[in-house]
Structure 1
Amino acid sequence: MNRHHSDDHLVAAIDLGSNSFHLAIARLDHGEVRRIDSLSEKVQLAAGLDEHNNLTRGSQERALACLARFAQRLQAIPAKRLRIVATNALRQANNAQHLMDQAEQILRQRIEIIAGREEARLIYLGVSQTMVTEGRQLVVDIGGGSTEFIIGENFEPLLTESLQMGCVAYTQRFFADGQIHAKSLDRAIMSARQEVMAIAESYRDMGWDSVIGSSGTIKAARQILLQNGWASASGGISHEGLAKVRERLLACKHVSELDIPGLKEDRRAILPAGYAILQGIFDELDLAEMGYSDGALREGVLYDMLGRIRHEDIRDRSAQAMMRRYHVDAAQAERVTATAERLFDQVAPALRLDDEDRDLLRRASLLHEIGLAISHSSFHKHSAYLLQYSDVPGFSQVDQEKLALVVGNHRRKIREEQKMLLIRSGSLSLLYVCVLLRLSALLHHSRSRDPLPAITLESDGIHFALEFPTDWLQTHPLTVADLAGETEQLRHWGIELHIH
């Protein structure tokens, strides 16, 4: 292994795409992410979805074999410096968890299934960090199962969307037998136009100054245009160039006959579908030209990880945005958060809680009352629903599920099955985070602005002992009543709460 692979400043990202799996290893160099190694394999996970939306055994075997090869490149990467994201195919697969369980054993790291708009945000981050343009830019990324559209300015995405169309999915839908006909090509183009039509008006209203494409399909199309002299004067993709590609496609009856300079063998079968989606986007958005950026999802993941390392985590900005959107009582949220963090610091070593658990508790404390914007009755359930099903930049589906579980169980009655759900979703640490939020919210039930006294908490995981200053509880009978009720509730989870 090269010497630089043992450097403590290395980070790595894996993108489990619907068409290809990508690994990127980079060095953090004075605030920049410099890629030093990469690996990509065509796994075509989306092609392995059967009629019941389950991944076939063959597709899972291809995926796991690929990841085993990736794992050999990751031996010197600390777990906290590796991030793995999965996109549309695993969003759609009913048996995704089965594959992820095996993959996580191979990679020894958690896999995050990210929502379409989060994928779009990360793609824009990757493009904007690797290609500087003036004004607003429209970024388009055609993947194997979905296509992302982002309008952004500088490093900030302004409008994000993910549409259910991709080169692997469209190959199965319109070109499954490999035959190429004008009729099937036009049907695929029209289908792509219909998908884009749903977002076209809002995107045109915002407007853009330049158009950038990223990832494999657009890279392959541009390479064909460059090799054949069909690219625009600036080396981009144009209507005229796409018309030449259509001519060459229709000159063949089957994908096996495609022999176009610049077309790689592993792109041959999906070229008609990729062309159709790209043509549909050009037609529906009335694009004149599209440039290309090497930055994509994996680069965006690397830069997002750099932000987390620098404590510039987009998830904290998203939490603040949600607080504003749902008119959270910020003072109350900060009081609960401060108490939660004080309690956390006292028991974290004994309960083996780490920085990620602390971050989760802090965000749950800030957001536990967002459901009040809907109704006071059972607001914790409304809060949980909003956290689980909203598009929240920076959060994976697993992140949101954990937040929703903690917030949804932070008050009122609890049951044994809720404990099991918490443990299945995040081990015992998630259960302990939930207990800490329950205690913190309870201690601020009165919403008083008066600061709490110095409270100490000790725990061995089964017993939680809260100690208050002498005589304080005597002057706060409502808190005593709340703590008595909480003692009864926590027994349902096998936890003994002791008050001193």
Structure 2
Amino acid sequence: MKGDASLFAAVDLGSNAFRMMIGQRVLRDKRLVIEKIKTLREPVRLTEGLQDNALDSRVLERGWRALGRFGKRLRGFEEARVRAVATSAVRQARNASTFLVGAEARLGFPIDVISGQEEATLVYAGIAHTMPCESTTRLVVDIGGGSTELIIGRGSQLIFTESVAVGSGTFGKRYFYDGRVDSRSLQMAEQAACVQLARAARQVRQHGWHIAVGSSGTARMLAKVLKANELNDCGRDGITYTGLLRLSLQLLEAGQVKRLKLDGLQTHRLGTLPAGLAVMLAAFKVFGIEEMFPSEPGLRFGLLHGLMHGGARHC
């Protein structure tokens, strides 16, 4: 794989996890599409180590070690075939420059700290590439560790974007310390998320949309858990409000995420489940969503799409 001139790599330094996707262009049904070759995930949890808006030494080392492992996989790649971006937690950190110096040295490639608006644009580019429906207007909700990106688009056309300071990592740290959950903490987290998301509600209503898409790991996790435990009505595969409420009851009964007995729930997702659930409940309420469809394509597909189509790096 190393040095293969047909391959491209996208590195996403998210607030919960660092992820890398290696892909290539293939012709399928007379369309050039992105084929995923390899993915890597490192649960760095930057938001956990964000103290007084600075990344602490433990999380710095954790992030650097993860990027060192990514860097080994990327040896032999040309710089024009790799793009690495950092999102909310690094945007927020006062010592971001310290982190980035060590991060770039270990990864072996430049890292762009992108704005919430560019993050939303890249997320939608990834979705539009793999869901090329020109007539359907989509509301995309991307719940990250430190922020949630809201996007409305039709086909490849981006209509509206907004980045909201609500995330499963920051909310988990604030409302569900050590994985403890009770009705008060869940209600407070949901209400706080509603307040933040409501700032974009008027624009979302003005533009309108036909289907809701969840492009983050949080959405995919929730859809998987709801389906595996038959919490949705009528065996639906996506995310429904009824299913979210039933999952909330199970979480409250457990009182602690480590005591949850749910099929389809991976151990590394336990810590972000309560906050991710609270933010998703708020999104359903604020935007009047009845059902959401999870989508794997998102930021990393958007990065690969830009690389494969000669997209310039934004600094």
TM score, norm. by length of structure 1:
0.60
After superposition, what is the alpha-carbon deviation per residue over 1:4-39, rounded to whole angstroms, capped at 9, x for unaligned? 444211110100000010101111234332111110
1:130-165 CA-to-partner distances (Å, cap 9, x unmatched) read: 224441001111000000010001012110011001
Shift of 1:107: 1.8
* Structure ID, larger Rg: 1
Task: Supply the distance in 2 between the matched residues of 1:293 and 1:59 (Cα, whole angstroms).
Answer: 29
- Identity rate of aligned residues, in percent? 37
Quote the Cα distance in structure 2 between the aligned partners of 1:177 and 1:42. Answer: 16
The match for 2:237 is 235
| Corresponding residue number in structure 1 for 2:278 | 276
1:112-134 deviations in Å (ceiling 9; x for gaps): 00000100000011112122444
Corresponding residue number in structure 2 for 1:76 = 76
- The 3-state SS of whatever aligns with 1:304 is helix
1:258 paired residue number: 260
1:286 deviates by: 1.0
Match of 1:218 in 2: 219
Secondary structure at the counterpart of residue 91 of structure 2: helix
- In the alignment, what sits opposite 1:14? 11
Q: In 2, are the aligned partners of 1:124 and 1:152 still within 8 Å (CA)?
A: yes
Partner of residue 164, structure 2: 163
SS in 2 for 1:141: strand
Which residue number corresponds to residue 376 of structure 1? none
What is the alpha-carbon distance in structure 1 between the residues aligned to residue 10 and residue 255 of structure 2?
Answer: 40
RMSD: 1.4
Q: Is the 8 A contact 1:131 1:293 kept in 2?
A: no
Deviation at 1:307, TM superposition (A): 2.1
Which of the pair is proportionally richer in strand?
A: 2
Amino acid at match of 1:130: T
Q: Deviations for 1:435-488, whole angstroms, at most 9, x for unmatched residues? A: xxxxxxxxxxxxxxxxxxxxxxxxxxxxxxxxxxxxxxxxxxxxxxxxxxxxxx
- Give 2:185's aligned residue: 184
| Greater percentage in helix | 1
Aligned residues: 309
SS in 1 for 2:289: coil
How far is the alpha carbon of 1:216 from its aligned partner?
1.0
- Select which of 273, 295, 298 maps to 2:297: 295
Q: Is 1:27 matched with 2:24?
A: yes
- Which one-letter code corresponds to 1:220 in the other structure? M
Partner amino acid for 1:302?
L
SS in 1 for 2:294: strand
2:87 equivalent to 1:87: yes
The aligned residue for residue 248 of structure 1 is: 250
Instruction: Quote the Cα distance in structure 2 between the aligned partners of 1:211 and 1:14.
Output: 26
SS at match of 1:25: strand
What is the distance in 1 between the residues matched to 2:302 and 2:175?
31
Contact in 2 for aligned 1:238/1:289 (Cα 8 Å): yes
1:295: Cα distance to partner?
Answer: 0.1
Alpha-carbon distance in 2 for matches of 1:28, 1:243: 41
Residues 46-84 of structure 1, C-alpha deviations (whole Å, 9 max, x = no match): 11100x211000001110111111111111311211110
**Equivalent-residue separation in structure 2 for 1:72 and 1:307 (angstroms):** 25
Q: Secondary structure at the match of 1:137?
A: strand
Q: Given residue 64 of structure 2, which amino acid in structure 1 is its aligned partner? A: L
Match of 1:53 in 2: 53
Give how far 1:254 is off: 1.7
Alpha-carbon distance in 2 for matches of 1:179, 1:36: 38
Equivalent residue of 1:33, what SS?
A: strand
CA–CA separation in structure 2 for the residues paired with 1:40 and 1:158: 31
